[in-house]
Amino acid sequence: MGLNKTVSNADEAIKDIKDGMTIMLGGFGLCGIPENCINALVKKGVKHLTCISNNAGVDDFGIGLMLQGKQVKKMVSSYVGENAEFERQMLSGELEVELIPQGTLATRCMATGYGMPVVFTPAGVGTEVAEGKETRSFTMYGEEKVYLMERAFESDFAIVKAWKGDKQGNLIYRETARNFNPMMAMAGKITIAEVEELVEIGELDPDQIHTPGIFVNFIFQGSNYEKRIEQVTVRKK
């Protein structure tokens, strides 16, 4: 691809996502989620997706909209407690679910980006998470411990959301909206980035870039972001 990786909108960005594919979606709760691309996937009606994401949104927003449309076959997540429809589909057997520790989710994303097929972690050893998986003992700082082997993710697409980006795909995230987005941007076989502000190549300070454009295949400027807050907690006067 050339230097300019821009596409006109979310519909064009996700046009090659087809039934049965595996996609990563950045975000933490409802913070930093790719709202425009999720809405485009809902409109397209693509089905039987495996979604790798920190959580499954809420009933009427984020990935929750895809669950409402029965578009998701399997969720790979760390936390799913805010979505009643997710709970219903899981308990009824309509939805396959793989719950994994949050740090393991992040590390498996990073392993993919680094080209490492597996990682070893102490998280999950001796629990249901470890069932059917290989374990090995390693000694670190004079202490021998058992570690669980976890495989890097393989996804067809990663969809992330950033604050600013340039036409070459270099991305800057803003504060906590960074969350899982940088790791997933590295991990996608094809990475789509939606940004709040799209600028010309050379306008971003190189020292401020979080995701280099080499990891991004398509980029577009999003619009109409709701940026919902899952749980609003305010201090009493």
Q: Using one digit for the tens of pLDDT, what is the confidence trace for 189-227?
A: 999 999 999 999 999 999 999 999 999 999 999 988 888
Residue in this structure with the two tokens 């749980």, named with its chain if needed: 231
Average of per-residue pLDDT across 56-65: 89
Burial class (CB in 10 A: 0-12, 13-18, 19+), 156: middle
Question: Number of C-alpha atoms within 13 angstroms, CB side, residue 71?
Answer: 25
DSSP secondary structure, 194-207, as one string: EEEEEE-TT-S-GG
Per residue in 163-174, pLDDT tens?
A: 999 999 999 999
Distance CA 51, CA 133 (A): 21
Domain positions in the chain: 10-101+152-221, 118-151
Confidence check: pLDDT of 231 > 90: no
Q: What is the mean pLDDT of the chain?
A: 93
Residue 80: predicted pLDDT: 78
Residue 68: predicted pLDDT: 92
Residue 40: predicted pLDDT: 97
For residue 56, give the 3-state DSSP assignment.
coil
For residue 35, give the 3-state DSSP assignment.
helix
CA 16, 165, 59: angle at the middle one, nearest 5?
60
Distance CA 111, CA 216 (A): 17
For residue 43, give the 3-state DSSP assignment.
helix
Residue 29: predicted pLDDT: 85
CA R_g for the chain: 18
Per residue in 89-129, pLDDT tens?
A: 999 999 999 999 999 999 999 999 999 999 999 999 999 88
Q: Are 23 and 52 in contact (CB under 8 A)?
A: yes
Average of per-residue pLDDT across 74-103: 90
Domain 10-101+152-221 top-level CATH class: alpha beta
Residue 228: predicted pLDDT: 77
Residue 49: predicted pLDDT: 97
Residue 161: predicted pLDDT: 97
Confidence check: pLDDT of 15 > 90: yes
pLDDT band, residue 2 (cuts 50/70/90):
low
The percent of residues above 90 in pLDDT, for the chain, comes to: 82
Residue 226: predicted pLDDT: 80
Q: Which of 31, 179, 187 is nearest to 111 (CA)?
A: 187
Per residue in 123-150, pLDDT tens?
A: 999 998 899 999 999 999 999 999 999 9
Residue 47: predicted pLDDT: 96
For residue 225, give the 3-state DSSP assignment.
coil
Collect all residues with Cβ–Cβ distance below 8 Å to 66 and sequence separation of at least 6.
38, 41, 42, 49, 51, 57, 72
Residue 114: predicted pLDDT: 94
Q: Are 219 and 190 in contact (CB under 8 A)?
A: no
